[in-house]
Structures are given as C-alpha cells and as structure tokens.
Structure 1
C-alpha cells in the first residue's frame, strides 16, 4: 500500500471531511478526493459512505483506520524517542568480552550504569571467542588484545598483568613461598595452557610449571580460578584487577608477573553516533580511571 495515500486516508477519517483533511494536509479537496479514490481502487473496496453532512467510515474503512491509528501512535512514539535520544539512552546493547573480565570486573560495576540509564538493556556475552563486530555479532567488545578487524573504532582502556595470589588462611597453613623454586611445595590453580586465553597468561603458566609443581587445578576461565583460590585451595594465577574487588586474597611472589596484556574497547565505525555506545564507552572509561586511582593509592599506602 502507498504510505502517502494511507496518510491522507487517516487524515480524512480523522476529520470526517475532505475539506478539513485538505486544510490539515495543505492539499486541495480535489487532490484529497483523488487519493482516496485511488486507495479504494487499489483495495477494491469502499472506505467511506458519502453523506451530505460528511463522510462515515464503512466496515472496511474502520478496519483500515484502526491500523493507521496504531501506525500513527507508533510513529509519534518513535519520533518522540528519536528527539529525546539526544539526551536519553535506551534500548538494547550487545556487549562481548571474556568470561573472566566480564564476570570479575565488568558485571559488578553494571549497577552504576543501570542506575544512570535505567532503560538500557544490556546483552552481556561472555566467551573467549572473538565475535565479528563488523558483521554485528555484537555492538561493542572489550578484548584482551588490539582488534585487527577493519572499520572498527578502538580505544585502549588499561593494561593487565597475570600475578600470583592466595588467601591469608592458605599462607598461614602452607607457608609463603619465597622463591619460584618453592612453588613445588604448593598447589597451583590456573588455566590450562591449551585453553583459550591471552598468550601472556599461558606463557606465565608454562614458566611456573617448569618448577616441578606437585599439584595443580586447571580451570577454563579466571572466574573458576578465583573461586578456587578464595576457597584456600592453593596459589592462583589471576589478572591483577581482581585485587580491588576481592581483598580476601593477597599477592604471592610480588616479583612474578606476566607480560603486559592490553585491554581494548572496540565498536563498528557505523555505530560512532550511537548514544548507547557512547554511554557505555564513557562509563567504562570512568570506571577504569577510578580503578587506576584506587590501585595507585593502595600501592602507595603499601610501599
């Protein structure tokens, strides 16, 4: 159906008069009449009963008017939301990141984002597989390496190192290792070197295992490593950002850490103007700044 003809039909049905509808649409009565006749011919039905006092909808006309009224309401709502979108943030945002970062760092901070933007709907996809942003498998990604795909806007958020941690209870019971050689007397909790993970983490684990570690527990994500470490099962290989939110673990062998792991936020070029993307990007950036400040203060107080 011709949208323009439907618009004119709706105006006529609403006004009950060709003349009044023409005034609203800034069209002549004859032009409005021609459009209505053309619409009736295309539908092979009569939409109005013509009376001296005006027009009355036929049964078929009422059906069409119900439909155009619903369309009009939805268009009015969409228009208002589009205007308001310059100030408001709403709708679905598909975010992908790793299981570890998403569950240990991002998810605990999302209440602050929802408090600021209560109409936001986040679909958080936690997996090690790199989703294709240009193909819109996700809207925005936080990745542990710089994205190589073209047509992406990318921003480095922070750097992460894998380090060794244990609970005070575990240390009290099993002793604090003073050297890498003494790891052979402890249980190491880590990701399997064959599991999908950042290469720097796998390299550190390979190095640690050369010290004849007597017992290990391997988990396929850092959330599991953290839970086992907090349970006092052994010494865990974990990203350094966990220390801020989990003060019940402490660092072991402070001189041991992985190479730097860069953390990037990326999204498709075509979403540059998206208010949802901007709100999420700014939120994560602010949280990173607060995270760095807190880590720096704790480091200085412990020095």
Structure 2
C-alpha cells in the first residue's frame, strides 16, 4: 500500500469520481482505477461499489476511509515537522492572528520580506482563540497574551508592540448625536464593538454598557470605515484615527480604553528554526506601527 493508492481512494470518494480524482492528482482516470484495484487487493476487501454512474463506499470502505484520512494527515504532519527542523529560511509555515489584528496590515508590512524570500510559503489564519501548538495547528501566533501564564519550556514569547484602543466617533456624528460626557450617556448612542460582551477586542469580563444600537464587527478596517461614515462610536487605534480621511474625535478617553501587549509566540521546538527566527527579526526591524495600519494602506481604502 502506498500513498498514491490512499490518495486515489480518498479523492475518488470526496470529489465524486475517478475522473475528478485524476485531475486533482495529475494522473489519468485509468491509472486511478488501477490504483484502487491494487488497494482493494492489498486490503483484502471491496472498498467501492457502483451505484448508477457513481462509485460509493461499501460498509468496509466507509471504515477504511476514516483510517486512510488519518494516515494521510499524519503523513502531511510528518513532512511539516521535518520542514520545521530545517536550518534554512525556506519551506512553508503557518501564522495565526486574532481578528482584531488585520491580516491586510500584516501583509502590507511583510511584503518586502516575502519578496526577498521567494522560497518561503506562508499560510495566514485568523483565529479567535490561542492555537494549539502541540497539535501542529500553526507554527507562529501573533496576539495579546500574558507570557507569565505560558509554559516557557514549551512556548517562546517575544514582545512586538502594544495596541492602545480608544473610542472615537466622526465629527459629523458628534454634531448630530451629541458628545457623551459619561458612560451613562452612551445609552442614547450607536456603539460599534469587536465582541458582544465588550467594546474592545479582549474581554476580561462582560461589560454591561447600555446603548441605543449595537453593531458587532470583528474586523478593524470595517470598524474604522463605520466610524468614518458616521455610523456610531467605535474602538480605534490612535494611529488609525490620526490617518483617518474623515475628522474623528475621541470619546471618553479617560474612562473607556484598553491596552494589549502583542507577542510573537511559537513552540520551543522551533527555537533553532531559521525561518521562524528570520521572520521575527524582520518584524522587529519594522516601525512601531507596522501591525496597526500603514499610511499607504489607509489611503487606498
């Protein structure tokens, strides 16, 4: 039994035909059929049967499919682990961010790095929760964490920057709706927030703030756009507020705000990985506001 046999079996079922499996794998349909026949011979059971024009799983084929998927996943994971052990800045790695850190801002910031390292492939994921490094979910995670709560023998954490969220509204919105003087005044306003439980990205405990209307948007660019378009009061980074194409004003800055320390984290097993280290060194060399929106990107919006 080889990997091509398992792939032929898996994609024939998941894609619906030997023809589509052949297209996926770059083989001919007749070769896929031969791989399936050889697989059934080695397994000693019929795995597929015809139902009309389609191949479907037999009862034993259904059992084998789950094991085949596990084997293929383990093979891919083993390859990825070997790539991580490379002492060269090459290969593929996965990076995760929380929704409040815009992947658009990150991509703009790291484009020179990617252009200078064409041998590197990057998969960026937006994850609300901290990823599971042990399961190999990602290689690097960038988000707000408290390094004191980490197992330092298993996870490395390096400080990158601090997000200082404040509330803002457009000048036009304030002229129409009035300037809130206290938290209680917000009950007559429209609030825009990252989560249902709080105005800011990270909610330590639910905040019971009353408002006339509540909009939940987990994208910082969309929140900035909503504030600029007079929709309501929302959390922005001061850097973004300064670059706004519309006049925006601070709201209750001394009463409602949040600062989040952002760290570059990765499993200790990647401490010697050249790619992970080179990427961190590059991020460190960028301006303080590289993860908070760049002037060129804001101008394009």
TM-score by length of 1: 0.56
- In structure 1, the partner of 2:280 is 281
- Relative to structure 1, the CA distance from residue 239 to residue 289 in structure 2 (aligned partners, 3 Å threshold; closer, same or farther) is closer
- Seen in structure 2, the aligned counterparts of structure 1 residues 242 and 284 have a Cα distance that, compared at 3 Å, is farther
**Partner Cα distance (1:122, 1:116) in 2:** 13
Match of 2:114 in 1: 114
Q: Does 1:133 align with 2:137?
A: no
Distance in 2 separating the partners of 1:195 and 1:171: 18
Q: Are 2:235 and 1:231 equivalent residues in the alignment?
A: no
Q: Does structure 1 residue 157 correspond to structure 2 residue 164?
A: no
What do you get for the CA RMSD once the two structures are aligned? 3.4
State how far apart, in whole Å, the 1-side matches of 2:284 and 2:256 are: 25
* Runs of 4+ off more than 6 Å: none
Task: Quickly say closer, same or farther: Cα 1:138–1:171, change in 2 above 3 A.
Answer: same
Q: 1:91-240 residue pairs with structure 2 within 5 A?
A: 91-103=91-103, 105-146=105-146, 148-149=150-151, 150-190=153-193, 191-193=195-197, 197-200=201-204, 206=207, 209=209, 212-240=210-238
Q: Which runs of 5+ in 1 are unaligned?
A: 1-81, 296-303
Asked whether the 8 Å contact 1:157–1:263 carries over to 2, the reply is yes
In structure 1, the residue matched to 2:51 is none
Counterpart in the other structure of 2:255: 256
Q: Evaluate the alpha carbon distance shift between residue 226 and residue 104 of structure 1 in structure 2; reply closer, same or farther with a 3 A threshold.
A: farther
Superposed displacement of residue 290, structure 1: 5.4
Structure 2 distance, partners of 1:256, 1:116, is 45
Aligned residues: 204
1:143–1:263 contact (8 Å) kept in structure 2? yes
Distance 2:132 2:243 in 1: 31
- Displacement of 1:258: 3.1
Kindly tell me: are residues 123 and 227 of structure 1, through their superposed partners in 2, closer, same or farther at Cα, counting changes over 3 Å?
Answer: same
In structure 2, how many angstroms separate the alpha carbons of the residues matched to 1:153 and 1:291? 21
Cα separation, partners in 2 of 1:91 and 1:169, compared to 1, 3 Å = farther
The alpha carbon displacement at 1:259 in A equals: 4.3
Shift of residue 154, structure 1, vs aligned partner: 0.8
CA contact (8 A) 1:192 1:219 kept: no
CA contact (8 A) 2:106 2:290 kept: no
Instruction: Tell me the SS of whatever aligns to 1:273.
Output: coil
SS of the residue corresponding to residue 260 of structure 1 reads strand
Contact 2:143 2:262 in 1 (8 A): yes
Give SS of 1:256's match.
Answer: coil
* Helix, strand or coil at the partner of 2:100: helix
Distance 1:167 1:111 in 2: 32
Rounded Cα–Cα distance in structure 2 between residues aligned with 1:90 and 1:230: 41
For the Cα contact (< 8 Å) 1:165–1:229, is it kept in 2? yes
Provide TM-score, normalisation by structure 2.
0.56
CA distance in 1: counterparts of 2:129 and 2:197, whole angstroms: 16
Give the secondary structure class of the aligned counterpart of 1:99. Answer: coil
Partner Cα separation in structure 1 for residue 200 and residue 216 of structure 2: 13
Q: 1:131 Cα deviation (Å)?
A: 1.1
More helix per residue: 1 or 2?
1
